Amino acid sequence: MRILTLTSSYPKFSGDGTAPFIEALTNEIAALGHEVHLVVPEHHAWNRPAADGGVHYHPYRYSPRRAWTPWGYSESLQDGLRIRWPLYPLAPVVYGSAVRTSMKLTSMLDFDVVHAHWVVPNGPIAARISERRSLPLVISLHGSDVTLTARSNLIGRPALRSLLRADLVTAASTYVLDRALGFGVSPEASGLFPYGVDSHRFRPDATAATLVRSELGVGDDDVLVLGIGRLVAWKGFSYLLAAIAEARATTPRIRVAIVGSGDLRGELEREAGVLGLGENAIFVDAVPHASVPRYFAAADIVVVPSIHHDAGFFEALGNVALEALATGKPVVATRVGGLVDVVKDGETGLLVQDRDSSALSEAIVSLADDQDLRHRLGARARAETESSLSWRASAERLVAAYEALAPRRVQSSPAHRSRDTTPVSGQRPERATWGMGGEDPKLGDFVGPTGNATDKYGRRNPLTQWLLARFLREIDETALIFSPASILDVGCGEGIVTERLAAVTGARTIGVDLGTDELTGHWRRRESEDVSFQPASAYDLPFEDGSFDCVCALEVLEHLERPRDALAELARVSGRGVLVSVPREPVWRALHLLALRDVRSLGNTPGHVNHWSSRDFEQLVAGYGRVTRTRRPFPWTVVLADVGSG
């Protein structure tokens, strides 16, 4: 079989500790004789060959600078809890670049299935490829993506749509599977696919244990408790430190080593100092994944203190627990997420309630004081992982699922595989688009024929960029309300927002503006299967009544001499919604005056011939449809009107 796999995290080089379980599963699938093509975001530290055995790598570019690659690879979440805000405006670019890379790949090679790891962000991308190429769609949930899907409409809606159209949704634990079923995923289209573990790499190793304990300054009589993982809130390392402090009151031989990096490193070190742990709390920076087995071998007890965080994050399965068990170590874990599937209470480890440092301390002390119990639980853990939790078994089960889905594939005609998106000229131009390695269009080039004289996209001022990011996020969320299949962007300029609308909504999108040679050049670089452009006037749109689900005019009406005529034309060609935005002129002009700009015109931007307050603009739009949503991302007004409700 030939498998197209999309993932946003993967070891960037041999031995890297970023999502090693994805690499282990991928390599085992390839070892079974299948060909895997992995589509991943570019990263400045990426150092892999184009192909390695049966695995082929296809990094896609999304950043204007190759040194700045913040997307994926366990770097997208601030404190492990929220998406870093600069990534929101990047999302449509990532989507577009990943889709283009995948479409190009699937046009050259015949694939049997498309598989997305993490429904956020890869589910919608894979769903688009599945739809266009008539490929079975598999989506694997890994935990954080489930939380993000539930927390945000902007992120969750496209993710949920992709989940509900998937042929198979896999979950690593019963907890994650239950969450998927709660989203409405069919039991017949979902299944439990636990992770495996490499019992050859993770095994008892007395030599490594002696060396690591010596490096850490841990004596033979000390009981070494190990915590390992990203230093983020929901991993619960604060509770581990508190438990160790309490445990040492009765068993002073206990020491703890925490191995990992993350945003909370400094805070955890300060907590250890306040608790008086001193040299009995050892912090070690994240180590290459190849070195992780040495630390497990050195430990007497491994603790996984994860919590159900208030923000919704949890431990989907617990690779750390699996690897510790394979090494023959007893595990103390919390009853969180998939950990209850991995650790058998009283047989391979001990389970306690999360956020309870006293219960955690009691479990640690019971193992520290009973060497025979530690050995008995560890031996049982090693035996069970060797017999039933190999990566080969995980890969064989997944491949069997692929093969069961492959007969469902429909060999579609060219007309079915893609819509006719040939530009007006009749020739599809060669593309050189941001994210595909060609000429990078500058956001600052947006000075369109509608009168925009302000280079807002190109400004480097951090405040301006932050305000613009908020405005664009509001446009994204509002455009999704009607779940449009088709969008018309009137006054599109060079097409930056047109392309963004297509990427966010998945809709077939057409941009129109007064044609110039300069704009035509920009349009040619941005045209794709989903995006096309043509010259037209806002007063006389060359489309039938009700041709589009949503018609947009963003930062346009303030430039037009006859805005009412334009609004009537927008409403005519829309079958459902009209989405429009303008500056809040009193505020806009005040800001200009404060910045000593356009002083002679009392802050009025050249080209602005209409000057509405937020309330006045909403009343104007209400004359052409029922206003269903008004938002005011400073300093703009965004209005959505339903023109299809009568």
pLDDT tens for each residue of 481-508: 877 899 999 999 989 899 889 888 888 9
Cis ω for the linkage preceding 121 (within 30 of 0): yes
Residues in Cβ contact with 575 at an 8 Å cutoff, skipping those fewer than 6 apart: 546, 547, 548, 549, 643, 644
What pLDDT does residue 564 have? 94
Q: Which helix (H) or strand (E) holds 525?
A: helix 517-526
Encoded tokens for 53 = 């055995």
65 or 43, greater pLDDT? 43
Tracing tokens 């060999």 back to the chain, one arrives at 411
> How many other CB atoms are there within 10 angstroms of residue 561's CB atom?
9
276 or 473, greater pLDDT? 276
Give the mean model confidence (pLDDT) for residues 98-124. 94
What pLDDT does residue 626 have? 92
pLDDT tens for each residue of 219-234: 999 999 999 998 988 8
Inform me whether the pLDDT recorded for 458 exceeds 80: no
Encoded tokens for 324 = 């510790």
Helices (H), 109-205: 119-133, 144-151, 153-165, 174-182
Inform me whether the pLDDT recorded for 420 exceeds 70: no
pLDDT band for 620, please (50, 70, 90 cuts): very high
**CA distances from residue 442 to 66, 435, 454, 509 in whole angstroms, order as listed:** 15, 12, 14, 21
What pLDDT does residue 432 have? 25
211/540 Cα distance (integer angstroms) = 78
Give the mean model confidence (pLDDT) for residues 164-175. 92
Sheet holding 301-304, edge to edge: 281-284, 254-259, 223-228, 301-304, 331-334, 349-352
Give the mean model confidence (pLDDT) for residues 157-166. 92
What pLDDT does residue 410 have? 43
pLDDT tens for each residue of 359-404: 999 999 999 999 999 999 999 999 999 888 889 999 999 999 999 9
What pLDDT does residue 157 have? 86
Residue 316 DSSP label:
S
What pLDDT does residue 580 have? 96
* Sign of the CA dihedral running 216, 218, 219, 224: negative
Give the mean model confidence (pLDDT) for residues 185-203. 92
What pLDDT does residue 442 have? 28
pLDDT tens for each residue of 424-433: 222 222 222 2
Inform me whether the pLDDT recorded for 437 exceeds 60: no
342/337 Cα distance (integer angstroms) = 10
What pLDDT does residue 590 have? 61
What pLDDT does residue 455 have? 44
Q: Counting Cβ atoms within 10 Å, is residue 534 exposed (0-12), middle (13-18) or buried (19+)? A: middle
What pLDDT does residue 65 have? 83
Helices (H), 305-442: 319-326, 339-342, 357-368, 371-388, 391-405, 414-417
Phi, psi of 6 (to 5 degrees): -110, 130
What pLDDT does residue 447 have? 28
Domains in the chain, please, with CATH?
2-196+395-408 (3.40.50.2000), 206-385 (3.40.50.2000), 443-642 (3.40.50.150)
Residue 411 DSSP label:
-
Torsion angle of C-alpha atoms 601, 602, 607, 608, degrees rounded to 10: -150
Inform me whether the pLDDT recorded for 319 exceeds 60: yes
Give the mean model confidence (pLDDT) for residues 201-217. 96
pLDDT band for 256, please (50, 70, 90 cuts): very high
158/346 Cα distance (integer angstroms) = 42
pLDDT tens for each residue of 506-556: 889 999 998 788 888 889 888 988 899 999 999 999 999 999 999 999 989
8/166 Cα distance (integer angstroms) = 19
Nearest by Cα to 435 from 74, 91, 133, 87: 91
What own/partner pairs with CB < 8 Å and gap ≥ 24 does 600-609 have?
Answer: 605/453, 605/454, 606/451, 606/453, 607/450, 607/451, 607/452, 607/453, 607/559, 608/451, 608/558, 608/559, 608/583, 609/558, 609/559, 609/560, 609/561
150 or 586, greater pLDDT? 150
Inform me whether the pLDDT recorded for 577 exceeds 70: yes
Q: Produce one character per residue of 307-334: b if its CB has 16 or more CB atoms within 10 Å, e if not.
A: bbbebbbbbbbbbbbbbbbbbbbbbbbb
Give the mean model confidence (pLDDT) for residues 179-199. 91
Residue 130 DSSP label:
H
What pLDDT does residue 440 have? 29
Inform me whether the pLDDT recorded for 161 exceeds 80: yes
Inform me whether the pLDDT recorded for 59 exceeds 60: yes
Flag whether the pTM goes above 0.85: no
Which of 119-133, 586-600, 618-632 has the least mean pLDDT?
A: 586-600
302 or 462, greater pLDDT? 302
Mean pLDDT of the chain: 85
Inform me whether the pLDDT recorded for 597 exceeds 60: no
Inform me whether the pLDDT recorded for 607 exceeds 50: yes
CB 516 within 8 A of CB 494: no
Nearest by Cα to 313 from 356, 267, 354: 354
What pLDDT does residue 594 have? 57
CB 512 within 8 A of CB 487: no
What pLDDT does residue 453 have? 38
Tracing tokens 């497990």 back to the chain, one arrives at 296
